[in-house]
Structure formats: C-alpha cells, structure tokens
Structure 1
Amino acid sequence: MTAPHELTAVEQCAALAGRTISAVELTAHYLERIDRLGGPLGAFVVTSPELALKEAAAADRLLAEGPQPDRPLLGLPIAFKDLQPIAGVPVTNGSTAIPAYTAEVDAAAVGSIRAAGTVTLGTTHAPEFGIPCYTASAVVGRAAVTPYAPGRSASGSSGGAASAVAAGLVPVGHGSDGAGSVRTPAAVCGLVGIKPSRGVVSSAPNPSFFAFTTDGPLARTVADAALLLDAMTVRRPAGLYEVRTGQSLLAATGRPPRGPLRIAVWTDSGLDEPHPETVRAVARVAALLEELGHEIVELTNPAPWDAAGADSLFDYIAGVVSSMLAGMPSSAAAALQADTRWMRERGDRLTAAGFVRSTATLASLSTRLIAGLTPYDLALTPVSSGPAVPLGHFHAGGSEAPAMRMLRWSAYTPLQNTSGLPAVSLPSHLTPDGLPIGVQLTGADHGSDQLLLSVAAQLEDTIGWQTRHPPQWWD
C-alpha cells in the first residue's frame, strides 16, 4: 500500500480535493515522520503540531464544502525556512545571538503560500542569517545533512528544507536563494530547486535595491516545484522589481518547449576544476538534450570568477551583514558564529566606495553572463564543483578563508542571482558512492521561467529520477 508521503505533492493535493485522504490524516503522517526521523538529519528547528492540526482541521472543513479554486494547496503540509517572518511561529534566523521572533504578519512569499491553503508544520534549519553554503547552527546543535550520506552536508542555506523533502518529511520545501541557497541543497539531496527570475516572487518585507535574494521551491519533481512556485508568485505587482509571470508555471511543465532550442554548455568556473562526476553529469544531460532534438553548443564560460570577482562578492555580502548587525551589543556579538563574525568584521572595514565598487564588479560579471547567453535559449552547467562535502569541509585547515573554499565549490550559482536570470537545479545521477549529482539550467532571458520549467520537465521524463530515494524514505 502506498504511504501518503510516496505521493507527489500534486497527487496529494488531488487526493485532498477528492477526499481520499483528509488534511488531518496527512498532517499527522508527516508530524510522525518528522518526530521519528528528523533529528539525525538536522532538518528542523521547531515543529508546530497544535497549529498544524488546527489548520488541517480547518482545511478539511473547507474541502467538505467542495472545490476551492482560490486555495490550490488546501490541506498540503509545508514547513518554512527559519529566516522569514511567519505569523504565529517563532523564527530564530539560525542565531543564538538574537532572540527568536514571532511575527504578527507573514513575509509576502510565506503569506502567499499560506493563503493557498497550506498547513504549517514548523520551520526548517538554516545557518546563521543564511550566510554560508552549509547548514549548521547553534540553534539546532547539529548540521543538516543529505539523507543519502548522513556524514555529508545538505549544503545551504536551505539545507534543512532539502533534507526534509528528500527524506519524505514534507512534500515540498520553502527555501530562499541569494547565491545558490536553493539550488546547491537541491543538488546534493537529489531534488529540483528553482531560483525564479528577479521579481517573480515578492521580497517584502525586506526588499533590496540589488534584489539578489528570492524565495524559491525545493521538490522531488518539476511539477511539484512549479506547483509551490505558482503559489509564491506575485499576483499584483506593488513593490520593487515585482512582475507577474502571466501564466501558470505548473501548466508549463505539461507541454514541450517550443521547437528545438539552442543550449550553451560549459563546466569551467574560473576557479577549481570540477569533480569528474560533475563533468559526467553535464555531459550526460547534454547528450539527452541533444537526443530530444535540441542543439548543444560547447563554449568557454563567458563570466568566469577571478580574484576581483570573488572579493567583490565577499565585500557585498559583508556589507549587508555589517549593516544588518550594526549596533549589536558586544555581549550578543560574542555569540555569533565564526563565518558571521568574519563577514561582519570585513563589512565593518569596508568603505562606502568599496561597497559601490563591489556592486559594479558584480554588475560587470552579470552583464558578461547575459551577453554571453544572448545567442542561446538556455545554458547547461554544473550546480557545484562536486557532490556533497563532508561535514566541516570548508573549515578543515589550510590558509585560505572558508568563504573562498565555499565559492570554489558553489561558483556556478551566484551570478544567476546578481543577473536576475532564472535557474533550476535538476538531479542527474548518483555517483558510485551513492551521492546525488545535479546540473543547472539557466534561462538566457529574464522572465524565461516557463521555458526553463518546460525543458526541465522534458528532461525529468527522460532521466526518470523520481524513483530514487534515500534510505529514510522507506522507514
């Protein structure tokens, strides 16, 4: 007999609407799995069983009244990343240096998801203020790990969400992505992760003039990811950069892309040579795209990282961290984790002119990426330079700062944020050691999200990754 978590999120929504399972039953199933399996994965910060069961009971009452077209996710359980305001649920921002905060009003993306009818299970683990590309915090006391190899990182900063979705503890995951924070966790956990075009999802209540960060979904299938992304998208633009997608992203996954596409491919980042399995993943998916009738063009990375680009990225992040933590008492600052302290101290030393120069360098790199993609519809690249790293990898000795080691591993994802282009991480295969490897598709145009998801769904049917699961899936 099929367990409820073995259904896709799309199938679960259909089962809820068809009354073949109740929201209370589905919620209880996930709460039990979280309680039994979640601890060793480091996936959750808090669970909210009373709130979840209350919301599930309310969803069942609405479902009994008949179709609810304005609530497409009615009764579907979800957990939110521990970085966004969530009404009625404490959020720690992954830090013991500041008190947990229970908001009265949801962040815009969180509110849109909840308005679609979801049931709130709690919060998923994120590192302190979402800074590093691994997920470990003093709040949880252990790292979030990939369920495929519990001694290896689930990446970050949406590592808790990725671990939870891969292990079947939630049907879909809410994440946020400022330099790859949805895509790299998705890759190391064998999932689909989407960073939408700039403005497709509202950044309220914390908009930025640079708008590098956006909320995005993690899921086991492209359709599930599109289902959640549809719930997040802006309906009526009212803020900085906000745009309407125009059509359903879920619908785009059900139709093939228009005609043969021209797809650029590269594996160089300007930094480390990628792992052989990463190169193999890109070559494998390129061959599959070619078999599907698309034109593959291999080229050199049009916007490789160099020392100036890396310094500019670190300066930008450091400036944001310094601004965010300005005025923090020294007693609280002493509780900050090492990577946060490093970024804060760098930001405190940064001048206004230095910050402006950093954004100008990142803008130049972004322009080079966009210009390099102009002759193409999409780009295919790695997501990271290799599979999931062992816990502690980025701090394991050596003279180089951990931030640079993180960029060497995750160099393929930040420029999609700075440029605003949409990108999706897709599973390719498992290494001989059983570790998931992902590839990244990047849309060549701002707003090409529908085309991107159409191609992703086409690949999904060809690769057939939906049947792969870690051991916890069957527990």
Structure 2
Amino acid sequence: MSASTATVLHDLTAVEQCAALRDRTVSAVELTEHYLDRIDRLGERLGAFVVTTPELALREAAEADRRFARGDDAHRPLQGLPIAFKDLQPIAGVPVTNGSAVLPAVTAEHDAEAVGLIRAAGAVTLGTTHAPELGIPCYTDTTVVGRPAVTPYDLGRSASGSSGGAAAAIAAGLIPVGHGSDGAGSIRTPAAVCGLVGVKPSRGVVSAAPASSFFGFSTDGPLARNVEDAALLLDAMAVRTPRGLHELAAPASFVAASRRRATRRLRVAVWTDSGFGAVHPENTAAVDRIALMLEGLGHEVVEVANPAPWDTDLVQAFFDYIGGVVSGLLAGLPPAHAQALEEDTRWMKQRGDRLGAADFVKSTTALAAFADRFIAKLASYDLAVSPVSAGVAVPLGSFHRGQSGDAPYRMLEWSAYTPVQNLSGLPAISIPSHVTADGLPLGVQLTGAAIGSDPMLLSVAAQLEEQIGWAQRHPPVWGE
C-alpha cells in the first residue's frame, strides 16, 4: 500500500491496519498522517477531541517504523497503530482536563495503568478525546471544547457519554479504535448511538490503577467498529498478572476468543422493560431481532421480567452514591469555582455535600443489594440480552429541557439498562443491531452471567456480527 491510497486507509479495520504495518505495506508515519489529517478536517465539527498531539504522534510513529525495520515488534501488537485516550485518565506528557474548565489540567509524569499498557503495546498517541466533566453525564458537552460530541450519523444528536468523543471519532474514521471508560454505561451508550462495539469488561480484567475508589464501579475498555478490533485493544490493556485492587487475570487472547464459536447451546435471558416506563419501539425491535438470531444459532432464549428493576429508593441511593463521590473529589473547592462547574457536576456536588457519612454508607449497601439480586437472577443463564438505552440518540440539549434538577433523572431513565453491570462487575458489550428509517444506529446489550465470562461474550457478539453484517456500515462523513 502506498501513499497514493492513503485516502482509504481508514477503510481497513484495526486488525488489518496492524497487519499492513507489520508487512510494511504502509508506514506508521503514513498512517498517522492520514488520521491527523482527518482529525484536522472533521474533529471540530464532531466535538471529538480535546487535545491533539501531532508532534508526539509523529515521533512515536517514526520510532515504530524504526522498530519494524529492525524486526523489533514481537511483543508490541499495536505497534504503529494510532489511538487517542479519553480525557479522564493520566497520560504521561499529555495534558488531561477531566472535562473541566474549573479544575486545572494535569500533565502526569506516569500513565494510568491501562493507558500505559496500550502505549507499551506500541500504539501511537494522537491526543485526547472529549469527555464530560468528571465523566458524570451521559452526554458529552463541556466549556473546555466549546461544542458537544455528536453522533456522526446525525450532527444534531448527542454521541452520549462519557466516552462520547471517542465514539464520535471512531465512527467517523478519525481513529481506528478508541480507549474509553465505563462507570454506569459510559462506553456502551456512546457505542450504541454511534453504531459501534463497546466493551465493559468484567471487574478486574483491566487495572483500575491508580484507583480512585475502593468500590471499583468504573473500568476502562475498548470502543471499535467490530468485535475483533475491540478484542485487539482489550488484549493490550488487560491484566495478565494481578497485583492491584480488584485485578483479575485475563485469558491468553481475547482476539482468539472472538474468533471461536460456541460449541454448546447457551441459555439466554431476554427483557426490554427498563423499570421506568415506555421504551422506544426501535430499541425493543433491536432486542427482538437479536433474540431471533440467537434462536436461529441454536441457543435457548427465555423471555424474563427485568431482573433488577429500579425503584424510588434505589434511584435515590444511586444519586446519593455519585453525589458523595463527587463531593469527596471536589472537597475544598472554593465556592466561586464550585459555582462555575458544569450544571450536572454542580447538582451532584450539592447533593453529596448534604449527605452524612451514614447516608453514603446506606447508599452503597442498597446498590450492593441491587447488584446481588441481579447476579442471583442471572445465575441459571449463560448470558442476557437487553436494550442499551430506552431510546435512540437524543437531540442536543434534550436532557435539560424542563425543570432545573430533572436532567439526572432523565439521563437515568434513558440509560437505565447499563449501571447494574458496573455495580455487579459482570461483563457487558454493546453491539449494533440496525439503523432506523431516520438513519440512526441502534445498539443491543449482551451481559455475561458470570465475572470472567468475557471470552464467551466476545464469541457470541462476533457470531451475531457475522449475521448482521454491520462492519461496512458508515455515517455520511466517512467518505469526506
């Protein structure tokens, strides 16, 4: 492959790009320049990036080419592959804002563990992708960037959050794969509205170091255009030798798992009820479509009631917990700075500031019981199928149309299917189902019924991918 074909480099999957780099049919510098050009032309329109690092990227790409020339790539599976990191994790030498114009940007001396593993695997650092302040809301719009992250399928609709910038960038072909993090659906909902695969691994498969919470609800994970590409990135960031909080030894290869097919009949629980009320008919249709495919593949599909429905007390516990965490993170912030926080951060901080220690502990107890119920209800199944969200990608600003303080409740109603996997630690993956008549992508969530069932989940998702054939579906900006 020569520079004359650079305009179609992003048509290749990440796995194919890695193969082309190893075969030296494309150079890492050429590939990096291709993506930097696309970011320059399209990134601002999509609200996808916070910082780009072209000088660093080209230095790392040139070093990757030198390594390839020496044959020094045996232990660097991502060597020369461009990537960007979510603007919430420490990245050595790159400023990270945490989505906040109030808090000072931090240029760390050391990478977060998952970031460092990806970089050690040879990936080229293009910069940071847009994330909301402290990763709180399920939309991505900050004063740091000055425009929202939008789904490339409709520039008037949100790319969701908090990995919205990463999802927008991958879907538009600005990066081949992306690093995300997920504390209550922050990988899966952006993947769903941008037509991508998004993996929330089992708790401990990816290191949380440097851990900021004892409870381990959030985890890093991959976003990609297909299952194999997601598995490739997950392999790079996965824990092999546990030595930290919650860490779990990962299997030898998630890519190999994504290429295997089930050799036994799986028992699959399916539900669409969110516990909050009406679900968009397209989201229900997406689940029905995937359930029929699983039956066609020989698996037993069982319709069940929502195994972990929300109630009023649980909703309050959820917001008490998040509010308590935010209040702790921002303790000591001067009042004038606190007033300048983004609206939803401010709401959470104020809620947390009103809590006593006993209230916070009570919230964690309620959430733990919620997770226990979910795990117990799924114990007789291999996996579960549900919507990722209760609706399609929302028009920009939708969550804040109404009374002040209602937005967090609207966001939870829209994304009610995703937090329990974080609370329970179970693995989950969002996979594309179809595109609506209006051209909006729909995702479906598969949840593994046991911690560590990630390989089975990737295998089933890849088999469904073959049936659906979404890998060549792209938004209008793809060809620009």
TM-score by length of 2: 0.98
Given that 1:17 and 1:67 are in contact with CA atoms closer than 8 Å, whether structure 2 keeps it comes out as no
**Equivalent position to 2:407, from 402, 405, 409:** 402
Shift of 1:429: 0.2
Establish whether residue 112 from structure 1 lines up as the match of residue 117 from structure 2.
yes
Query: Could you say what secondary structure the match of 2:439 adopts?
Result: coil
Q: 2:288: which partner in 1?
A: 283
- Of residues 333-342 and 138-147 in structure 1, the stretch that sits farther from structure 2 once superposed is 333-342
CA spacing shift, 1:399–1:83, aligned 2, 3 Å: closer
Q: 1:344: which partner in 2?
A: 349
Measured in 2, the distance between the counterparts of 1:363 and 1:170 equals: 37
Consecutive unaligned residues of structure 1, counting only runs of 5 or more, are none
- Of residues 270-279 and 160-169 in structure 1, the stretch that sits farther from structure 2 once superposed is 270-279
Q: 2:452: which partner in 1?
A: 447
Measured in 1, the distance between the counterparts of 2:397 and 2:202 equals: 32
- Of residues 238-247 and 21-30 in structure 1, the stretch that sits farther from structure 2 once superposed is 238-247
Query: Could you say what secondary structure the match of 1:367 adopts?
Result: helix
Q: 2:50: which partner in 1?
A: 45
| Counterpart residue type for residue 15 of structure 2 | V
Establish whether residue 376 from structure 1 lines up as the match of residue 399 from structure 2.
no
Shift of 1:247: 2.2
Shift of 1:400: 6.2
| Counterpart residue type for residue 107 of structure 2 | T
Measured in 2, the distance between the counterparts of 1:194 and 1:283 equals: 21
Q: 2:422: which partner in 1?
A: 417
How do residues 74-89 of structure 1 correspond to structure 2 at under 5 angstroms? Answer: 74-89=79-94
Given that 2:295 and 2:301 are in contact with CA atoms closer than 8 Å, whether structure 1 keeps it comes out as yes
How do residues 157-306 of structure 1 correspond to structure 2 at under 5 angstroms? Answer: 157-306=162-311
Measured in 2, the distance between the counterparts of 1:390 and 1:213 equals: 26
Measured in 2, the distance between the counterparts of 1:44 and 1:63 equals: 29
| Counterpart residue type for residue 291 of structure 2 | A
Measured in 2, the distance between the counterparts of 1:257 and 1:207 equals: 37
Shift of 1:216: 0.5
Query: How many corresponding residue pairs?
Result: 475
Q: 1:155: which partner in 2?
A: 160
- Of residues 164-173 and 98-107 in structure 1, the stretch that sits farther from structure 2 once superposed is 98-107
CA spacing shift, 1:95–1:207, aligned 2, 3 Å: closer
Measured in 2, the distance between the counterparts of 1:400 and 1:339 equals: 8
Given that 1:190 and 1:436 are in contact with CA atoms closer than 8 Å, whether structure 2 keeps it comes out as yes
Given that 2:347 and 2:405 are in contact with CA atoms closer than 8 Å, whether structure 1 keeps it comes out as no
**Equivalent position to 2:29, from 21, 24, 27:** 24
Shift of 1:183: 0.2
Shift of 1:338: 0.8
Runs of 4+ more than 3 Å apart: none
Q: 1:70: which partner in 2?
A: 75
| Counterpart residue type for residue 71 of structure 1 | R
TM-score by length of 1: 0.99
Q: Deviations over 1:442-467 (max 9, x none)?
A: 00001000000000001000010001
Consecutive unaligned residues of structure 2, counting only runs of 5 or more, are none
| Counterpart residue type for residue 394 of structure 1 | F
Q: 2:431: which partner in 1?
A: 426
Q: 1:328: which partner in 2?
A: 333
| Counterpart residue type for residue 25 of structure 1 | E
Given that 1:272 and 1:385 are in contact with CA atoms closer than 8 Å, whether structure 2 keeps it comes out as no
Measured in 2, the distance between the counterparts of 1:246 and 1:388 equals: 34
Measured in 2, the distance between the counterparts of 1:263 and 1:96 equals: 45
| Counterpart residue type for residue 101 of structure 1 | V
Establish whether residue 436 from structure 1 lines up as the match of residue 435 from structure 2.
no
